[in-house]
Amino acid sequence: MNRSHRTELQAEAARGPAAEQVRVAVLLYDGFTALDAVGPYEMLCRVPRVTVTTVAEKAGLVRNDTGELTLVAERALDSVDRADVLLVPGGSGTKATMENPVVLDWIRHIHRRSVWTTSVCTGSLILGAAGLLRGLPATTFWAGRSYLADAGAEYTPGRFVEAGKIITAAGVSAGIDMGLHLAARLSDEKVAQAMQLAVEYDPDPPFDTGSPEKAGPELQQLALQLLADAER
């Protein structure tokens, strides 16, 4: 989808209640990371004329990567033929999803007519497995950077990276930043700024270890161990 079409979509969103709805599809799969999906959802679900739907290979309950949280996939893949925005989260189920031809074929199909195709964390590796990142800059969870090269992508640091109509976000919480960016793209900056205030997103963490460069090797190892121990 070219820039002019995206501009038209933004114009539609500004015309009023009769304007066409913007359809966002959030892919769920067994072993997804909850905040990868819920963070962007929270930034987008109240934006005027935006509707968000959760989708999985089969409709119904889908467990996250710890097995302690379940979300409902409202629709099955074969019932969703089109979405303006596709969001693919990451999680411990990434590898299995990368090898699932049904999901990959559906992602390719949706991408052909999407306005934006997006990912959070290792969700970018799923986009890569679908062949969507070849020759493009992209980002992912810090421990998965080297795998982007396998998809023909160029790792690019940043909370999120926009390349044409594809936006990839870094690890987990970066999906919130990307969600706000999308809110501005789908509506306008004022609405996105209001959404940031609505959820009081004003990060001021007690520690400054939110990137591997700041954290150092010892904390990197501990972080990966904590993630591995929590997987069901």
Active-site annotation, residues: 121
Paired with 86 in beta bridges are 25, 117
Paired with 51 in beta bridges are 23
Quote the CA–CA distance of 170 and 135 in Å, as a whole number.
18
Contact between residue 137 and residue 161 where contact means Cβ atoms under 8 Å apart:
yes
Contact between residue 32 and residue 91 where contact means Cβ atoms under 8 Å apart:
yes
- Give, to the nearest 10 degrees, the angle between helix 189-198 and helix 174-186: 140
- What are the two backbone dihedrals, phi and then psi, of residue 178, each rounded to the nearest 5 degrees? -65, -40
Contact between residue 189 and residue 119 where contact means Cβ atoms under 8 Å apart:
no
